[in-house]
Amino acid sequence: MSEKYITLKPNSLRTVHFFLLASMLTLAGCTGIPYSEHEVTSIYVGWACYDADELDASTPFVSLYGHHASRTGNVNLSGIKIETYFYIDGLEYRWSWDDAGGRHSFIVDTDGIARYYDFGREDTAKPSAVYACIRE
């Protein structure tokens, strides 16, 4: 299992930093890379994730779905559907939610490995589960 730690960061702080950077680049005469609004807002992703020790299993242990435009997603775990906040952070796909037990996240890296983090009431956590995922 990978000993990869992550720290939760407030999304509002990231938004402020991005806004300030974009403003400074615009003032300096730099422009962003043009993009098609349709391409950015139509991103819908799905991953079927299997226990890393049981890759021959016919049924995924967890399924992850996300819609980039609405920033909504869901995690389907053993018949339980959890509504989440979904976003793409660099090259990683993230599903995050809060419940009575604290904060939780699934993060899928570019290599198709999903890590589950249970933060509880802390800001830093290491993965408590790792899954091998296939893009749907």
Dump pLDDT digits (tens) for 15-47.
334 434 444 434 444 444 443 333 444 589 999
Give the model's pLDDT for residue 51: 86
Q: What pLDDT, on the 0 to 100 scale, is given for residue 52? A: 72
Is residue 1 domain-resident?
A: no
Tokens standing for residue 21: 């950077």
Residue 45 maps to a domain: yes
Confidence (pTM) = 0.68
Q: Which of 76, 113, 78 is nearest to 97 (CA)?
A: 76
22 domain residue, yes or no: yes
Is 98 domain-assigned?
A: yes
User: Which residues span the domain enclosing 129?
Assistant: 6-29+39-135
Q: Show the CA angle centred on residue 90, arms to residues 71 and 93, nearest 5°.
A: 50
Average pLDDT over residues 112-128: 95
- Is 34 a member of any domain? no
User: Per the domain annotation, does 103 fall within a domain?
Assistant: yes
- The domain tally of the chain equals 1
